[in-house]
Amino acid sequence: MQISKEQLSEYARLIVRTGANVQPGQVVQLSIAVEQHEFAAMVTEEAYLAGAKKVNLNWLSDGQDRLHYRYADEETLAVTLPWEEEKLRQMTKDLPVRIFIESEDPDALAGLDPEKLSHVRQRRSAVAKPYRDAIDGKHQWCIAAMPSEPWAKKCFPDKPAEEALSLLWDAVRRTVRIGEKSDAVAAWKEHTSRISEKSTWLNNQHFRMLRYESSNGTDFTVELIPEASWEGAGSTNQENGAYYIPNMPTEEIFTSPMAGKCEGKLVAVKPLSYNGQLIEDFSITFENGRAVSCSAAKGLELLEKMLHMDEGACMLGEVALVPKESPVNRCGFLFYNTLFDENACCHFAVGQGFKEVLPDGDNLTTEEATAKGINDSIIHVDFMVGAEDLSITGFRADGSSVPIFRNGTWAE
Ligand code: ZN
């Protein structure tokens, strides 16, 4: 594989310094696949060089997960053991910087019992939730990716493994802006300040409604929550003021729209990978804020099932703006990983909204957030609507309007 050591260490440094922004004296918790042990060592060393007090490793393995789900019974897998819970409790004391490196095979769990998977996940996350909530807003975290052979083969099935891997690395490298300018850290400064500039502009416009139109049939309006803000790029750890970037790459500016307040038809411009299966050439029509009908050339049944997962699954939880020049879009293929695919172009998500977009949102209960218009659901699924000629117009409370997007990108 032709990944240069220099670029890999530049990437490790970018994740630690710009993404997670590790501060002297902080504990770091790195979650990464066992196959990526060399890159794990690079990230670990960078974290220590940034002043980390201790770097704790959390090793992941697709292969082991598959075996557990295949052979161990549901009850055994669903129970969180006392020592596992103790680890979670420790996290609320250490407030570690959490770094996640994704490299999993998109088909890792294909063919396993989906009910067993979701029951185990539900019960484990119910135990972990109070601990996660307790550190919300009080620690830095960053999710980035490192290509693996099975993942690369999924993206480039016709290529030999080694070539697939180097193609995927090259794409990941471009999306995280390594090798573009002399220094990726400087390139990210420029990138995040442009995103902040746009989100500030959007917040100052106080739009109450957005109208979407494109020649593929998208014709749609959605209402926004008056006090919700547009967010993008980075967040700030309220404990120490450290600015960090939760997702690398990141291109989107997003908010949660008013649940139950949208009308019209959205036509997808990219296939949707859901539970390991593809939904292709699809559209969803909304009435009174709820998906009432959909069409798909492939995977229609799956799409309908998804929209009926629970009460909130047929309503919107996210609206996100991404110009068509996004480096992810320019790669021109499906990554089968939301970290990348949702940064390709403008999208919506059905399902769970983000209460963080409300003032003091982190401290609101689910009921309080729902009362303000944030959708609640067990799913959150992004789908892309950013057509080449997409236009988005913003409307204010007084009826005045401003072009936001024209021809798939910022109007100005
Ligand atoms: Zn998004």
* 332-380 residue pLDDT tens: 999 999 899 989 999 999 999 999 899 988 788 889 999 999 999 888 9
Tokens representing residue 408 in the block: 């798939």
Rounded distance from Cα 347 to ligand 1 centre (Å): 7
CB 230 within 8 A of CB 255: yes
Q: Which residues does residue 348 pair with via DSSP β-bridges, in sequence order?
A: 319, 383
What is the distance in A from the centroid of ligand 1 to the CA of 86?
Answer: 33
pLDDT of residue 293: 96
Q: What's the confidence (pLDDT) of residue 296? A: 97
Q: What are the distances in angstroms from CA 114 to CA 74, 96, 272, 393?
A: 12, 32, 18, 41
pLDDT (tens digit per residue) in 101-125: 999 998 888 888 878 887 888 888 8
Determine the distance separating the centroid of ligand 1 and the alpha carbon of 160, expressed in angstroms: 32
Give the pLDDT of residue 68. 95
From CA 271, how far away is CA 277, in angstroms rounded? 10
Neighbours of 93 (CB within 10 A): 10
**Domain spans of the chain, in order of start:** 5-175, 206-231+251-410
> Distance between CA 109 and CA 275 in Å, rounded?
9
Backbone angles phi, psi at 81, to 5 degrees: -75, 155
CA of 386 to the centre of ligand 1 (A): 12
**Centroid of ligand 1 to alpha carbon of 24 (angstroms):** 31
Q: How far apart are CA 322 and CA 209, in angstroms?
A: 18
Tell how far the Cα of 51 is from the centroid of ligand 1, in angstroms: 32
Q: How far apart are CA 318 and CA 347, in angstroms?
A: 8
Give 248 Cα–ligand 1 centroid separation in angstroms.
13
252 alpha carbon – ligand 1 mean position (Å): 6
Give me ligand 1 centre to Cα 382, in Å.
6
- In terms of C-beta density within 10 A (0-12 exposed, 13-18 middle, 19 or more buried), how is residue 262 classed? buried
What CA–CA distance (Å, rounded) separates 141 from 149?
26
Output the pLDDT for position 122: 81
Phi-psi region of 360 (alpha: psi -120 to 50; beta: other; left: phi over 0): left
User: Are the beta carbons of 360 and 290 closer than 8 angstroms?
Assistant: no
In degrees and rounded to multiples of 5, residue 170 shows phi and psi of: -60, -40
Identify which of 20, 61, 55 has the alpha carbon closest to the alpha carbon of residue 40: 55
- Taking residue 70's Cβ as centre, other Cβ atoms within 10 Å add up to 12
Helix, strand, coil percent content, the chain, rounded in steps of 5: 40, 25, 35
Distance 67 CA to ligand 1 centre (A): 32
- Give distance in angstroms: CA of 250 to centre of ligand 1: 9
User: What is the mean pLDDT, run by run of 10 residues, along the chain of 412 residues?
Assistant: 82 96 98 97 98 97 93 96 96 96 90 83 86 87 96 96 94 91 86 94 96 97 96 90 95 96 96 85 97 95 90 95 94 91 94 91 86 91 95 96 96 89
Distance from the CA of 298 to the center of ligand 1, in angstroms?
23
What is the distance in A from the centroid of ligand 1 to the CA of 329?
A: 14
Q: Which fold has domain 5-175?
A: Thermophilic metalloprotease-like (3.40.1830)
What gap in Å lies between CA 21 and CA 23, rounded to an integer?
A: 6
Q: What is the largest CA-CA distance in the chain?
A: 61
Residue 29: predicted pLDDT: 98
pLDDT score recorded for residue 86: 97
Predicted pLDDT of residue 2: 63
d(CA 318, CA 159): 35
- Collect all residues with Cβ–Cβ distance below 8 Å to 67 and sequence separation of at least 6: none
Measured distance CA(195)–CA(17) in Å, rounded: 19
Report the distance separating Cα 327 and Cα 343, nearest Å. 9
Contact in structure between 273 and 381 (CB atoms under 8 Å) = no
3-state secondary structure of 169: helix
Rounded Cα distance, 191 and 187, in Å? 6
Kindly list the protein residues that place their beta carbon closer than 5 angstroms to ligand 1, a single-atom ion. 252, 320, 342
Tell me how far the alpha carbon of residue 219 lies from the centroid of ligand 1, in angstroms.
Answer: 20
Secondary element (H or E) of residue 405: strand 401-406
CA 20 to ligand 1 center in whole angstroms = 19
Q: What residues contact residue 91 under an 8 Å CB cut-off, 6+ apart? A: 29, 131, 135
Torsion angles phi and psi, residue 257, rounded to 5: -80, 170
Alpha carbons 266 and 384: distance in angstroms, whole number: 9
Element (H, E) at 260: strand 257-267
CA 80 to centroid of ligand 1, rounded, Å: 30
User: CA-CA distance, 209 to 55, in Å (whole number)?
Assistant: 46
SS3 state at 42: helix
